[in-house]
Structures are given as structure tokens and as C-alpha cells.
Amino acid sequence: MNCAASNFTLSHLPSLSASSEAAKSEKITTPSSTQTTQSAVSTVFNQVVQRFSTSSSSSSSSSKRSVQFSSILPECEKKEGESKNFIKQAAEYTLNGKNCRPRDIEEMIEEYPHLERLTIDVGMLQDSSLDLLKQLSKLSKLSLCSPHITKDVFAYLKNIPRLKSLCLFNCQSIKKPEASSLAAMKLLERLEIDNCSGIHTPDLVSLFLSFPHLGSLKLRIMPCPKEVCSAISLMDKLKMVVIDRCAGFSEECFTLICALSSLTHLYMDSQNVTFISGLQQVTNSANMQVIVLNNCVNWTDECTRLLLKCPLLERLAFSGCANLSDKSLELLVELENLKSLDLENCPLITDKGLAFLEKSASLRELQLTYSCKMSDEVLLRFKTKKNFSLQVEGWNQKT
């Protein structure tokens, strides 16, 4: 199982999904708000949990439930029972294995009643197991990864009282959600749907129309034609949108998304979209701060010119944008707030374009893929700049 199946991750992309490495074993994290516990206790607790996470080898024939707590706080002078109370404050938990029985959920809730973030990555998840999650009164973020999950998952999720963030990964069996279930999830702010083939275009439209208050939306390997994007365009509080290899996404769809005046973060991985008309909508939003484009081969220097009307842009990524040239870099220098720029796998970039970037007073991070069009001399000038981070894939730096 792998909840984080997406390859569309960058250092400046706010993570919405559970790490696949983290899902290899149970993990427990204490909440930062637990002020009553001594800092020494917290340090030892985290160290021991980390050692457990990297060394656990319990059988996967059922959900992993083999954490031993008897020696978690041996260095702390705590009265018997206080260590257990501290553990009960755990805020984050990952449960994985082949199957998840109701008893596994019951034990988890008994041991960690104050969970705020939960990841369940299993082969089989029963309806009765999902129904138990409503007992977690503080649960705000839930990630589910199971190909054999219930068809009407939202009927159970609506009963979790404080659920604000929901991630569904590879949940192939989920079908059309009932309107009454969606209407009850009034607190939901972040939604991620990743490769859930049972959810079709009409289902997505119904889903998005039920959540006009969403602030963050990620779609990966899902249908995203005009009907879906029209529903997304009605979310007037939406600040972040991620569209990653979604079938049916077109220039018209891009234009609808870009018309959102609330949008501050836009992430796309699409080889088939042209951008000019959509970018003319982006310039109507003075709020845009981050734009990440993966493999957008139709991006041109003229597209870059339209970004100059977005004065708050801080981070830009053009990874795999094969038609981006030195002219774009000359234009980007005019963005006075630009701090981070990713130009990996942009084959037209040369020393000439990099020389333009040297004039930027705001730029602090630069990522490149080395080519024969770049000289060591120019790269070394960036490398030695004060308070500047340069990453060049494939560059054998000469000393």
C-alpha cells in the first residue's frame, strides 16, 4: 500500500498526503499544545518512538498493533501512571497492514483518545471500523488508503465531529456519495482525491457543489473536464488547487480555475494545456503567491510575461517546461517578491538567462538541471552568493 502515490511533490508544495515512508510502521506524535509535560519527557518520547518506527518488523498478517510502552520514558523521573497519561496525548497515528478489524480501531481509540491526525493504510477496511472513528472527538485530519473500502464512506465520515481535512488514496470501491452525508460535513476545509476510480465526473460535480467553503483541493489521476472545473470555480474561498495528470483538463478548464479571485497557490501537471487565456484571468488576482508547473510543455515566454501582473508571486516552478527560454528569466527579474525558482529539465536555459537572474534582488533559491549551455563560472557565482541556495542536478562542480 502507498498512500502517497503521487510523484508531484516539491519542497514548497504543502503536503496534503501521508508519506509512504511514514506509513511503513505505526507512528505516534505528541501535540505541540501539550504544555504541561516537561520538555525532557517530550524529547525522550520522540526519540524512542522514532527508533521504534525505523525498526519495527511485526507481522503484516493483520493491522500492526505491537507498540510496547513499558520503557518509553526510562530516563524521566515520572510517577507510575503519568507516562501512560502522557502517551494518551498522542496527536498523530498511522495504522497499516493487510486488514483492519473493528477491534484494532477500538484498541487504538482506547490508547490514543486525543488523536488529531490519523492515517489508515490497509487492504480491507470494514464499515463497522469506520463507524468507530466518530469517537475521536479531536480528529481533524483523516487519510484513508484502501482498495476495498466501503462504497458509502461519507455516511460514516460525516459523524466525525471535527473533521477538517480528508485525503482519499486508491479507494477504488467508493461510489457516489449521498447528498445528505456531504451536507453534514460542514467543517471540511481540505480535500484530496487521489486515483479513486469509482468516483466519476457526476460524483465529483456533486461533491464540489456540496463544499463551497473548501480552502484547499487536490485532484490526482481523476476526471477533470469542464463540468468538474465549473463546480470548482464556484468555491469562492478556495486558496490552493492542485491538478495532477487529470483526464479531460483543457485550456477552458484552466481558465475557469484561474478566475478564482481567492486563489493563492496553483499546482499543475499537464502536457496538453495551453495557458494564455487562463493566465489573463490569473492577472485579475493580486493574491497569487505560488505557481508550480510540471511538464507543461506548452508554456511559452509570452505566458511568463503575463505573470508580471501578479506582484505577490514568491515561488515559481517550471520543471519540465521544455519551451521556457532565457527570455522568461529576463522577465522574471521584474518580480520584486520572487524568492524561489525551479528550472529543472528546462533545456533552453543558458548562461545568458542565468546572468539575468543574478540581477534579482529578491531571489534566494534556484534549482536547475545542468547542461552544456551552462558554465561552471556562472554557476559558481550563484553558489558563492551570500544567503543563497543553489541546487544543480547533474553538475560535477569543479573546485
> CATH no. for residue 72?
3.80.10
pLDDT tens digits, 303-358: 999 898 888 999 999 999 999 999 999 999 999 999 999 999 999 999 999 999 99
Do the domain assignments include residue 20? Answer: yes
**Distances in Å between the alpha carbon of 142 and those of 29, 130, 354?**
15, 11, 43
Confidence of residue 276 (pLDDT cuts 50, 70, 90): confident
- Across the range 258-281, mean pLDDT stands at 84
**What pLDDT is stored for residue 79 in this prediction?**
43
**Distances in Å between the alpha carbon of 321 and those of 206, 297, 344, 350, 390?**
34, 5, 8, 14, 19
Greatest mean pLDDT range, 3-7, 100-104, 150-154: 100-104
Please state the φ and ψ torsions of residue 362, each to the nearest 5 degrees: -100, -25
**What pLDDT is stored for residue 283 in this prediction?**
59
pTM: predicted TM-score of the whole model, two decimal places: 0.77
Nearest by Cα to 142 from 120, 170, 113, 114? 120
Rounded Cα distance between 163 and 159, Å, is 9
For residue 13, the enclosing domain spans 1-199
**Distances in Å between the alpha carbon of 164 and those of 78, 186, 387, 398?**
35, 9, 37, 50
Distance of CA 37 to the CA centre of its chain: 31
Rg (CA), the chain: 24
**What pLDDT is stored for residue 339 in this prediction?**
97
Q: Structurally, how many domains does the chain consist of?
A: 1
Rounded Cα distance between 388 and 19, Å, is 28
Do the domain assignments include residue 215? Answer: no
Q: Are strands 28-29 and 92-100 parallel, antiparallel or unpaired?
A: antiparallel
- Half-sphere exposure (Cβ direction) of 180: Cα atoms closer than 13 Å: 3
**What pLDDT is stored for residue 54 in this prediction?**
38
**What pLDDT is stored for residue 278 in this prediction?**
74
In sequence order, what are the beta bridge partners of 389?
Answer: 365
Q: 279 vs 49, which has greater pLDDT?
A: 279
**What pLDDT is stored for residue 81 in this prediction?**
46
Do the domain assignments include residue 334? Answer: no
**What pLDDT is stored for residue 38 in this prediction?**
42
Q: 339 vs 70, which has greater pLDDT?
A: 339
Which region among 86-100, 108-122, 220-234 has the lowest average model confidence (pLDDT)?
86-100
Confidence of residue 286 (pLDDT cuts 50, 70, 90): confident
For residue 87, is pLDDT > 60? no
Rounded Cα distance between 328 and 203, Å, is 40
CA torsion, ordered 46, 51, 54, 60, to nearest 10 deg: -90
Do the domain assignments include residue 220? Answer: no
Do the domain assignments include residue 328? Answer: no
Confidence of residue 177 (pLDDT cuts 50, 70, 90): confident
Confidence of residue 172 (pLDDT cuts 50, 70, 90): confident
- Three-state DSSP string of the chain: CCCCCCCCCCCCCCCCCCCCCHHHCCCEECCCCCCCCCHHHHHHHHHHHHHHHHHCCCCCCCCCCCCCCCCCCCCCCCCCCHHHHHHCCCCEEEEEEEEECHHHHHHHHHHCCCCCEEEEEEEEECHHHHHHHHHCCCCCEEEEECCECCCCHHHHHCCCCCCCEEEEECCCCCCCCCHHHHHCCCCCCEEEEECCCCCCHHHHHHHHHCCCCCCEEEEECCECCHHHHHHHCCCCCCCEEEEECCECCCHHHHHHHHCCCCCCEEEEECCCCCCHHHHHHHCCCCCCCEEEEECCCCCCHHHHHHHHHCCCCCEEECCCCCCCCHHHHHHHCCCCCCCEEEECCCCCCCHHHHHHHCCCCCCCEEEEECCCCCCHHHHHHHHCCCCCEEEEECCCCCC
- Across the range 1-15, mean pLDDT stands at 43
**What pLDDT is stored for residue 235 in this prediction?**
94
The answer to whether 168 and 222 have CB atoms below 8 angstroms apart is no
Question: What value does the mean pLDDT of the chain take?
Answer: 79
Which region among 131-145, 171-185, 187-201 has the lowest average model confidence (pLDDT)?
171-185
Confidence of residue 88 (pLDDT cuts 50, 70, 90): low
Confidence of residue 398 (pLDDT cuts 50, 70, 90): low
Confidence of residue 141 (pLDDT cuts 50, 70, 90): very high
Do the domain assignments include residue 21? Answer: yes
Number of residues written out for the chain: 399
Please state the φ and ψ torsions of residue 138, each to the nearest 5 degrees: -105, 0
**What pLDDT is stored for residue 180 in this prediction?**
80
For residue 9, is pLDDT > 60? no
pLDDT tens digits, 56-65: 333 333 334 3
* Torsion sign across C-alpha atoms 314, 262, 144, 296: negative
Rounded Cα distance between 138 and 248, Å, is 38
Rounded Cα distance between 329 and 335, Å, is 10
pLDDT tens digits, 368-392: 999 889 999 999 999 999 999 999 9
Do the domain assignments include residue 231? Answer: no
Do the domain assignments include residue 120? Answer: yes
Amino acid found at 304: T
- What percent of the chain has pLDDT above 70? 76
For residue 270, is pLDDT > 90? no
The answer to whether 129 and 102 have CB atoms below 8 angstroms apart is yes
Nearest by Cα to 276 from 252, 260, 295, 294? 252
